[in-house]
Chains A and B, each alone.
Chain A
Amino acid sequence: MHTLISIDTVRGPFVREIEEISGQNLLACNQCGMCSAGCPVASAMDMLPSQVIRLAQLGMEEALTAGGRGDTTVWLCASCLACATRCPKGVDLPRVMEALRQIQLRRGAVRMDLDALPPQLARALPQVAIVGAYRKYLK
C-alpha cells in the first residue's frame, strides 16, 4: 500500500485546524515515544499516542478520523495528562487528542450511546462520569 505524503497535506487545513483548536505546535514533537511509554490505555489502542501525533504532523486526516487506524487512540484517550507531564518537548498531547475529537464532533459525530451501557452500571455511575462522558463524546 502506498501512502502519499505531500506538502499539500503537511501544510493543509487539517494540520491548521488541529493547531488552532489545541494551541500546540505539532512539529515540536521529536517522536521520542515517552508519551506512549506511559500511556495507561496504550494496550487497548490500535495506534500509539506518539504515532497519532506523527500522523497529525503529516496531515494524514483519513487515518485519524472515523474508520482510520488512529481512531481508537483518539477516543480511548482518558485525558489523564500523564503524557503531557512527561513530554520532554513540552507538547500537550491531550490537547491534540481533544482537537482530533472536536474536529469530528464539530462535524456532527456522536460517539456515545448511553442506552448501550449495562443497566446496572448506568444506575450506579457517579454524576461526574456521565457529565464528563457527555462533554467528551457528544457535542
Chain B
Amino acid sequence: MGGVKHRGGTYPYYPGCTLSTQARAYDRSGRAVAAALGIGLQELAEWQCCGATFPLTIDDSMALIAPTRVLCQAQDSGERVVTLCAVCFHVLRRCQVLLADDAQMLERINWFIEQDYRGELHVAHLLEVLRDDLGWNAVGSRVSRPLDGLRVAPYYGCLLLRPREEIGLDDPEDPSILHDLIRVVGADPVDFPYAIECCGSYLTAKEPRVSERLSREIVASAQESGADLLITACPLCQFNLDYPQRETRAAAAGDGLPVIYFTQLLAVAFGLPRDTWGFEDHYVDPIPALTSMVGISHEV
C-alpha cells in the first residue's frame, strides 16, 4: 500500500439505479473526488439495472442475465469497470468471477441474451482504485482540510467483504480499507463491534421493524465507541442506518449519528465545493458534527 503509483486516467463507470436516483449524493461526491485525484469516471453510454441481488441458487441462470448484460455493456470501454454502489459491486463482481470460471454458463447466458460477453472484464470498486492504483499517499496529498480530531466509525457491512474468495477486496473478518482512508484524511478511525454486521439489507422493504432494530444497534454501538460520524460505501446501508434516526429525539437535538459516504468525507477533506457534498438528503444532518470538530458550519 502507499507508494507512488499514480496512474490516473479514465475508467468506465457504472453508477447503477440507486446512485442515479435516491443516492445522487454518493454519485456526485464520488465523481468530484475522483476528478480531484485526476481520475475520470466515464459513465457507460448505455446501462441497465444489475438486478440488485446475486442469485444464491445453482440451477437458475435467469438472475444472471441482468448483471451479464451490464458486463457486456462495459467490456468494450476497457479492461475494468468501476462501481461505487456496494450492491452493484457485489453482484457484478460475483457474476464476473462466476462467468470467468464457468465456460458452459457463459455460453448459455450469451446464447440467451444474444450477445457476446467474453468473460474477461474486471469489476472494481472505487475504494480499490484509490488504494491499489493511486495509493493512499497520493490520496493524502490532495487533503487540504485535515479532519484532525474527528472520530469516524468505518462501517463495512456485508456486500463489500463477503464472500471472501469472490469479492477479495479485504479481509472479511478484519477489514482495514476504510480505516486507512479515515487516517489518510487526518481523522481517527473508531473501532466498534458492529463494523461488519448486517444492516438488514432488503429486509427494510419487507420487515422494516426488524431491520430498524439491527440498524439501531449498529448506530448505538458506534456512538458508544465515541464516533462523531459513520462512513459507508453502500447506499442501502446508508439508508438503513440513517432513516430510522429521522424522528429520534437524539436526531432532533443534533445528537444523532450522521451516516455519510466515504466519498463525502473525502470531498470535505479535499476542500471541494459544497455542492459536491450532497448533505441535504441526509436524515441526520452531518454539518453539526463537522462544526464542532473541524469548524465547518452551515454558513458558507
Do A and B assemble together?
yes
- Asked if B206 and A137 make an inter-chain contact with CB atoms under 8 angstroms apart, the answer reads yes
Contact indicator per residue, chain B 157-197, by CB within 8 Å of chain A (1) or not (0)? 01000111000000011000000000000000000000011
A67 at the interface (CB under 8 A from B): no
Say how far B216's CB is from chain A's closest CB, in angstroms: 12
- Asked if A44 and B213 make an inter-chain contact with CB atoms under 8 angstroms apart, the answer reads yes
Q: How far is the CA of A2 from the CA of B220 in the complex (A)?
A: 44
- Asked if B57 and A95 make an inter-chain contact with CB atoms under 8 angstroms apart, the answer reads yes
A interface secondary structure, majority: helix
Also in contact, A20 and B200, with CB within 8 A (given A40-B214, A125-B205, A137-B206): no
B interface secondary structure, majority: loop
- Asked if A132 and B201 make an inter-chain contact with CB atoms under 8 angstroms apart, the answer reads yes
- Asked if A135 and B17 make an inter-chain contact with CB atoms under 8 angstroms apart, the answer reads no
Closest A-chain residue to B63, C-beta based? A135
Interface-located stretch among B45-53, B99-107, B141-149, B255-263: B45-53
B235 at the interface (CB under 8 A from A): yes
Q: How far is the CA of A132 from the CA of B162 in the complex (A)?
A: 17
Enumerate A18-77 residues with CB–CB distance to B below 8 Å. 20-23, 40-41, 44, 75-76
With a CB–CB cut-off of 8 A, which chain A residues contact B22? 124-127
Closest B-chain residue to A131, C-beta based? B52
- Asked if B214 and A136 make an inter-chain contact with CB atoms under 8 angstroms apart, the answer reads no
- Asked if B206 and A112 make an inter-chain contact with CB atoms under 8 angstroms apart, the answer reads yes
Say how far A89's CB is from chain B's closest CB, in angstroms: 15
Interface magnitude class on chain B: 35 or more
Q: How far is the CA of A54 from the CA of B21 in the complex (A)?
A: 43
A133 at the interface (CB under 8 A from B): yes
- Asked if B198 and A132 make an inter-chain contact with CB atoms under 8 angstroms apart, the answer reads no
Question: Considering residues A125, A128, A132, A136, which has the most beta carbons from chain B within 10 angstroms of its beta carbon?
Answer: A128
Interchain Cβ contacts within 8 Å, total number:
140
Q: How far is the CA of A128 from the CA of B23 in the complex (A)?
A: 10
With a CB–CB cut-off of 8 A, which chain B residues contact A92? 56
Q: How far is the CA of A98 from the CA of B54 in the complex (A)?
A: 11
With a CB–CB cut-off of 8 A, which chain B residues contact A130? 205
Closest A-chain residue to B197, C-beta based? A40
Question: Considering residues A23, A75, A126, which has the most beta carbons from chain B within 10 angstroms of its beta carbon?
Answer: A126
Say how far A20's CB is from chain B's closest CB, in angstroms: 6
Q: How far is the CA of A118 from the CA of B247 in the complex (A)?
A: 15
- Asked if B17 and A80 make an inter-chain contact with CB atoms under 8 angstroms apart, the answer reads no
A6 at the interface (CB under 8 A from B): no
With a CB–CB cut-off of 8 A, which chain B residues contact A84? 162-163
Q: How far is the CA of A95 from the CA of B60 in the complex (A)?
A: 13
With a CB–CB cut-off of 8 A, which chain A residues contact B85? 128
- Asked if B210 and A44 make an inter-chain contact with CB atoms under 8 angstroms apart, the answer reads yes
A109 at the interface (CB under 8 A from B): no
List chain B positions with a Cβ less than 8 A from chain A: 16-18, 21-23, 49, 51-53, 55-60, 63, 85, 87-88, 158, 162-164, 172-173, 196-198, 200-208, 210-211, 213-214, 235-236, 239, 243
The contact sample of 17 A-B pairs, CB cut-off 8 A, is A80-B198, A80-B201, A81-B163, A85-B173, A95-B57, A102-B60, A111-B206, A125-B204, A126-B236, A127-B18, A128-B17, A128-B85, A128-B236, A132-B201, A132-B202, A133-B202, A133-B206
3 A-B pairs closest in CB distance: A80-B198, A132-B202, A98-B56
Given contacts A41-B198, A102-B60, A124-B22, 17 further A-B contacts (CB under 8 A): A20-B58, A21-B57, A22-B57, A78-B198, A81-B158, A81-B162, A92-B56, A117-B205, A125-B205, A127-B18, A128-B52, A128-B88, A129-B236, A130-B205, A131-B53, A132-B87, A133-B205
